[in-house]
Amino acid sequence: MNVTIRKIGNSEGIIIPKDVLDRMGVKAGDDLTLNEENGQIQLVPQNADLAEQLKAARMGMDKYRVALRELAK
């Protein structure tokens, strides 16, 4: 699939086709993480709910570290 870099205000960007956004499960206003490696760009959807859940899990694991260690034996 080919896209063209376009002038958008003082920046430049691309238009991502709706069918691609639908397959990725994202919509206007969603946050993406942009990774650039070896001259390639990868866009990854950010899951805010998952990030919050992981933060809560880490806090719980830190709080109950001793008990969890005992249970793991």
What pTM, to 2 d.p., does this model score?
0.54
**pLDDT, tens digit (0-9, with 9 covering 90-100), for 4-44:** 999 999 999 999 999 998 888 888 888 888 999 999 999 98
Q: What share of the chain is helix, strand, coil (3-state, %, to 5)?
A: 40, 25, 35
How confident is residue 48, by pLDDT bands cut at 50, 70 and 90? low
**pLDDT, tens digit (0-9, with 9 covering 90-100), for 1-13:** 899 999 999 999 9
For 31, the enclosing helix (H) or strand (E) is none
Parse the chain into domains and list their residue ranges: 6-71
